[in-house]
Every structure is written in C-alpha cells, then in structure tokens.
Structure 1
C-alpha cells in the first residue's frame, strides 16, 4: 500500500511542477512599412503584453542601415477602439525609437509610427491587443484557473489518503502494543 501511495505522490509531483513554472512569452513583432520595403521590430513592456492602467515602454528598432546614425523625426500616434487619437512623445537613439504610454483600458489599439528623413517618410502600422489590467467601464468576470483548482483537489485527496494510511498504521501499532 505504501508503494502505491509513493507512486501516486510522485506522479502528482511530475504533473504539478510543470504547471507551476512561470512561462512568460517574450515575442517581439516584426512589422513592415506601408510599402513593405522596410521593417521595424516592436517590443512593448511588460513581455509584449501591456497592462491597461499601467505605463508601458514601447520600443521600435528600425531595421534599415540608413537610420543607424542619421538624423530623422519619429512621430507615434495611438488610436483606441473609439477612434480617439493620441500623439505620443518619442525618444530617438540611432535606429531605436521609444515612447512611454499608458493604455487606458483593455481593447485593441492601433499604433502608427511615422519616420521622416529628409523628404522621405515611412509609416509603420500595427494593431496591439491589451488584454490585462483595467477593463474600462465594464466589470471583468472573475478569472478561473482550472489547473490550480484541479491541483488543489488532487492535493487535498493526497493529504486525505495519507491521513487514512497514517491513522490505520497508528491503530495497528496501538493494537499490537496492548
């Protein structure tokens, strides 16, 4: 009986450990300009999954050698779901363009970066989903974590089995000592 319990506990540990590990995604997005002649890598903190109501740092890395040490202007506009447009201040360092922005609520936002060098301008457009944080006027439903609930049930069952085994062995020890 004790070997069966050990096997069950070992299996629970093997299943539970991978579920408890944090596996954050760090995916940068490559976007192209309107003419598909130039690309830029987009990264938004935290973990390319911004949180509504919290400040996010937005980075664009323009993938063109002409922008490495050149003088150019960069304008970032962010359009929310209602169509309200916000012009965001940008910082330029070589081919990097960065900005700070707080997404007001969950939803899909359109990010539009316009870079101008001389008479030439490039426009990069991407849609960014914000699915964490404040949800605006509506109250978000409670988040359910099925794996955590299952783990709690399995753990409680395991503790119950161990308690039954321990009590039965204790009873045998008491009976044999009399």
Structure 2
C-alpha cells in the first residue's frame, strides 16, 4: 500500500485508501503483497479512475469538458430554429414597410389636397387680380375716357374672343 501511495503522491494525484483498495480489487491484487510492477499497475488504475471521475462528475453533475450545456440539458435555453427567426424578422420588416407606406400615403394625400386647394383658389381669384392690375396700370397712365374704352375693348376681346361692338349686337 505504501508503494502505491508514494507513486500517486509523486504524480500529484489526490486519493484515499478506498481508491487504492477499489483499484486493486478490480484487477485482482492484494495491496499488502505487491512488487514494484504490481504497485505501479494499481497506481495506474487509481489514476485512471480519478481522471475519469474528474471528467464525468464534479459535485454530482455531468461535465462534457468544454463548459457548455449538453443538447438535452434541462438548463439549456431553447433557441428558435433559424427558419422561424428569419420568418419573424421578415414579418416585422414587412410590417414596418407597410406602416411607412401608410404614413407616406397620408402625407402625400394631404400635401396634394393642399396644393390643389391653393391652385383652385389662384384660378378663382385670377379674374379679380387681372381687373385689379388693369385698373392699377390704367390709373398710372392717367389716360382719357376714350383710351380707357380702347383698353377695355382689348381686354374683352382678349378674354372673350370678341370685341365690344359684336357683344353689344
């Protein structure tokens, strides 16, 4: 037993006498009557048992050596399949695009309605503006009544395509 203890201590393997007795009985040897080769054999068995125990158990939990949880571990977080994640991202993206399109359509509709109202107002007010500008220009010229009539006749002809004599008849 002492020979086995020395070998294990030199190799830096932690052990107790139960480990030695268990390894020796597994290979059919008596720990009290061993030669050097047999003691070495028992020490190898103890070392292998310790290494396999250290890899497979730590505080009673299974280890796979890399710190990651096993595929079927109850502590493992389930991750959605890639196809599901892609489908979800696509759906969210399509919803965002549709939302943006709806906002733009409302904005464009409001803008075009406003511009149409402005244009209609400009068209409605055009005759008033023409007459107002005509009066302003005529006042600047300080012309006589006949020149005003001539200008008026030209204006009527330009607007209606007829002269005032034809309109009077």
Q: Same fold (TM over 0.5)?
A: no
Q: TM-score, normalised by structure 2?
A: 0.23
**Higher helix proportion:** 2
| Greater length-normalized contact order (CA 8 Å, ≥ 6 residues apart) | 1
Q: TM-score, normalised by structure 1?
A: 0.22
**Higher strand proportion:** 1
Select the structure of larger CA radius of gyration.
Answer: 2
